[in-house]
Amino acid sequence: MSSRLPVKKTYKLYIGGAFVRSESGRYDEAEGFNFPRASRKDVRDAVAAARKAAEPWASKTAYNRGQILYRAAEALELRGGDPEAVDVLVHYAGWTDKFQPVLGGINPVAAPFLSFSLPEPTGVVGIVAPDEPPLLGLIAELAPAIAAGNTAVAILSESHPLAGLDLAEVLGVSDIPAGVVNLLSGRRRELATALAAHRDVNAIVEAAGDPELSADLDRLASETIKRVRHAHATRGYDTAVTDSLARIEAVTELKTAWHPVGA
């Protein structure tokens, strides 16, 4: 019989590509493990990391972003992740070079001009994940945001955060650049309201299913004119992909340009 002591897993937040403890030092317990209880300062640090990564990520080619998401799906599958969550990542990897021609286009105008619209990422997207399913529910909202060229700060399931914190380890060995995805565990209301109030966050995707929290996020987001998308928790692959374009469109902006005909 071995006399060695078991090494219990130490979970940490994932901010800016690094595994960090909460600056407050607080921890909660779930599923037999301690996990970090992020603070408002951690939210600010995560938003700063996402903002720093936003321009380099958006400037990558759509094909390259698709390759990177596919690599993340490979890493998740090798780790034995939820097969439906893996398939959702692969699905949105395929959308990275397809949503531009679908959402964009040439606009008819009654003038000697050419007018065309191109979709662009909205910037930093805050994501409030549902409690269940903890991994698929998170990836269903995260994948379209980063596929569209955004960076993300995600608040994990409050009751089952470990699946999201395990995802951080997958992303850490994939090709997703530091700061593109930031994952925070802790008390949902404390973190979500801080995220919605932050002036450097451009959009909020909320799938927690809490009507009171939803109303608070709408109010806070309106103060800085953020986009807000309220979603039901995704229960399976089909519901994660049947409205793919709507999920992507919710975190993109259309830039319209005018050009004289014949110039």
Q: State residue 2's pLDDT score.
A: 66
For 65, 70, 72, 196, 231, the CA distances from 85, given in Å and listed in that order, are: 18, 12, 11, 26, 17
Tell whether the model's pLDDT for residue 77 goes beyond 90.
yes
Type of residue found at 155: I
Q: How confident is the model at residue 118 (pLDDT cuts 50, 70, 90)?
A: confident
Instruction: Give the SS3 label for residue 52.
Output: helix
Terminal C-alpha separation, the chain: 83
Q: Are 37 and 185 in contact (CB under 8 A)?
A: yes
Per-residue pLDDT tens for 175-209? Answer: 999 999 999 999 999 999 999 999 999 999 999 99
- What is the CA angle 108-109-114, rounded to 5? 80
**Mean pLDDT, the chain, integer:** 93
Per-residue pLDDT tens for 210-251? Answer: 999 999 999 999 999 999 999 999 999 999 999 999 999 999
Q: State residue 32's pLDDT score.
A: 86
Of 28 and 2, more confident:
28
Q: Which of 23-32, 33-42, 195-204 has the lowest mean pLDDT?
A: 23-32
Helices (H), 5-98: 40-59, 62-78, 83-95
Instruction: For the chain, list the domains and their CATH numbers.
Output: 13-260 (3.40.605.10)
Per-residue pLDDT tens for 47-70? Answer: 999 999 999 999 999 999 999 999
